[in-house]
Amino acid sequence: MDSDAESEPNREMAERPVLVGLIPQTVVLDDGDQVSWISDAGNLRVEFDVNRCPFSSNVFQAPAGMRLLSGPPRPGSKAATYKYKLWLNDQLVGHGEVILREK
């Protein structure tokens, strides 16, 4: 059985992009904001440096489809950039950063 693509070899095919995942490089938080991460692709883990984390926990984990919320920054957290690692199904898939703005 021949497909249309095989019967017309010079025919151009249209591309239909599919967004699989988007990892923001930087998230900026104002006073009273929190970060939200979500992935339908698998188990998600966000990990900040244990000695340099603005939130009450430095590790956030959730199964596929569940939203992770950082909660508000801890009182006394300095306006700065805080870097994190992003894991999907126990595979490191990227890095990001959270920037806390001054109050």
Query: Regarding beta strands 68-69 and 44-48, do their DSSP bridges make them parallel or antiparallel, or are they unpaired?
Result: unpaired
Any idea what the Cα angle at residue 61 is, between residues 55 and 66, rounded to 5°? Answer: 110
pLDDT at site 25: 75
All residue ranges of the chain with pLDDT < 50 are: none
- Give the gyration radius of the chain's Cα atoms: 20
pLDDT of residue 20: 59
Does the pTM surpass 0.85? The reply is no
Please give the pLDDT value at position 6: 57
pLDDT value of residue 48: 97
Transcribe 45-101 into DSSP letters.
EEEEBTTB-SSS-SEEEE-TTPPEE--SPPTT--SSEEEEEEEETTEEEEEEEEEEP
